[in-house]
Amino acid sequence: MSNPLQGAQFVLAAHRISQLPPDHGAEVAFAGRSNAGKSSALNALTGHRGLARTSKTPGRTQQMVAFSLPPLAQGDGEAPLTVRLIDLPGYGYAKVPEELRAHWKQEIDAYLHHRRSLRGVVLISDIRHPMKEFDRMMLEFCFATHLPCHVLLTKADKLSRNQAAQALAALRKDLAAGGTQATAQVFSSQAPTGVDEARAAIVTLLQTPRE
């Protein structure tokens, strides 16, 4: 299958939302706890190994990093859509100084509330210990603001197929019980697993205008 997210390019790294690219077109943000595997997922999904910096040290991504994708074709007579992916800093890691954590909490909250081109969130959660406080907060936020969310249960290579399937079933049950519309899948940047499925989900998010 060809990769619809091919051709991603680094645009800029921002310390504040005011420094992000102009707020038009469509974008999808990658959110998750520190070290969950956001940057690795971005690289696997775009098929560009060195695109987003990854690290064994949690708290590596300390900026909002914007990547552009080639414009997406739309329906007849409509101009192609400018599209971006945004790598959000993972907050919640204890060793990140309190002041910086507070800064990111505020910036990410503002971003989620005010960014008009934002069409969805890809929430990256470690399949071995999913749905920690940060993830729940993000899901609740998406639910409250009608922001579509697709969960990648990543690092699935660390579990057997069976265990991974069980984790997904448990999460889906949990999501349904919470009344959220969020979708979820098993993923691994390393195996790789679930890459085509995730790409398709992201394209759908990008193409779907907000309510």
Ligand X SMILES: Nc1nc2c(ncn2[C@@H]2O[C@H](COP(=O)(O)OP(=O)(O)OP(=O)(O)O)[C@@H](O)[C@H]2O)c(=O)[nH]1
Chain residues binding Mg ion by CB under 5 A are 38-39, 60-61
- Reduce the DSSP state of residue 76 to 3 states and report it: coil
Q: Which is nearer to Mg ion, 61 or 125 (CB)?
A: 61
Q: Are 54 and 101 in contact (CB under 8 A)?
A: no
Q: Rounded to the nearest whole angstrom, what is the least distance from the CB of residue 153 to ligand X in the complex?
A: 10
Residue 25 binding result from ligand X, Mg ion, none, given CB thresholds of 5 to 8 Å by partner type:
none
Residue 189 as a binder of ligand X (CB under 6 A): the answer is yes
Joined together, the tokens standing for residue 47 give 């098929």
Q: Which is nearer to Mg ion, 81 or 112 (CB)?
A: 112
d(CA 41, CA 48) in angstroms, rounded, equals: 10
Q: What is the DSSP string of 136-147?
A: HHHHHHHHHHT-
- Residue whose beta carbon is closest to ligand X: 90
d(CA 74, CA 65) in angstroms, rounded, equals: 25
Piece of the chain touching ligand X by CB under 6 A; list 59-67, 76-84, 165-173, 202-210: 59-67
Among 161, 190, 208, 210, binds ligand X (CB under 6 A): 190
Q: Rounded to the nearest whole angstrom, what is the least distance from the CB of residue 74 to ligand X in the complex?
A: 31
Query: If you compute the radius of gyration of the chain from its CA atoms, what whole number of angstroms results?
Result: 16
Joined together, the tokens standing for residue 153 give 């249960």
Residue 19 as a binder of ligand X (CB under 6 A): the answer is no
Binders of ligand X in range 65-104 (CB under 6 A): 90
Q: Which is nearer to Mg ion, 31 or 147 (CB)?
A: 31
Residue 40 binding result from Mg ion, ligand X, none, given CB thresholds of 5 to 8 Å by partner type:
ligand X
Residue 206 dihedral angles phi and psi, to the nearest 5°:
-60, -35
Joined together, the tokens standing for residue 112 give 């989620």
Q: Are 105 and 112 in contact (CB under 8 A)?
A: no
Residue 132 binding result from ligand X, Mg ion, none, given CB thresholds of 5 to 8 Å by partner type:
none
